[in-house]
Amino acid sequence: MEFIKNQYVEQNFDKTLNVLSAIFYKYVPFSEFLPIFERSYELARYYKADKVLLNLKLLTVHDEETREYIANVWFPTIKKEGVNHVAFILPDSTVGKMSAQDAHKNSQNINGLIIANFSDESEARAWLSNQ
């Protein structure tokens, strides 16, 4: 199964933690985000990943269409694929944090999906290793 690696994102899978991960390098327009979302479902299914780590540290904001998709489609779909824990590494900027948290606002409504926010990768990986 191929991972997406381009100017926007690099996906990977950590076998030791059973974690599907992605680091985002910059703002991603929705048209470019959609294939990344779709590949995340395929990768979660293929690797039977039950955890996801998303590093958003370098992102500034999500556009409205992306925020709505994350809240209403990505969270429920990734849960259906077997993911139970999602760790986010949030941007340092206040605007970036607010944008990410707005996109995650409906995640608590999905039964069995546990979301946690972190400021660095080591904290996020430690949390995931205990799940």
Q: Is residue 1 part of a domain?
A: no
- At 102, is the pLDDT very low, low, confident or very high (cuts 50, 70, 90)? low
Average pLDDT over residues 68-77: 89
Q: What are phi and psi of 116, to 5 degrees?
A: -140, 145
Side-chain half-sphere of 106: how many Cα atoms within 13 Å? Answer: 13
66 close to 99: Cβ distance less than 8 angstroms: no
Q: Is residue 42 part of a domain?
A: yes
Q: Is residue 113 part of a domain?
A: yes
Q: Is residue 47 part of a domain?
A: yes
Least confident of 32-41, 59-68, 77-86: 59-68
81 close to 120: Cβ distance less than 8 angstroms: no
pTM here is: 0.90
Q: Is residue 15 part of a domain?
A: yes
Q: Is residue 82 part of a domain?
A: yes
Q: Can you give the residue range of the structural domain that contains 72?
A: 9-129
∠ CA 75-25-59, rounded to 5°: 60
Domain CATH code at residue 70 = 3.30.750.24
Q: Is residue 66 part of a domain?
A: yes
Q: For the chain, what is the domain count? A: 1
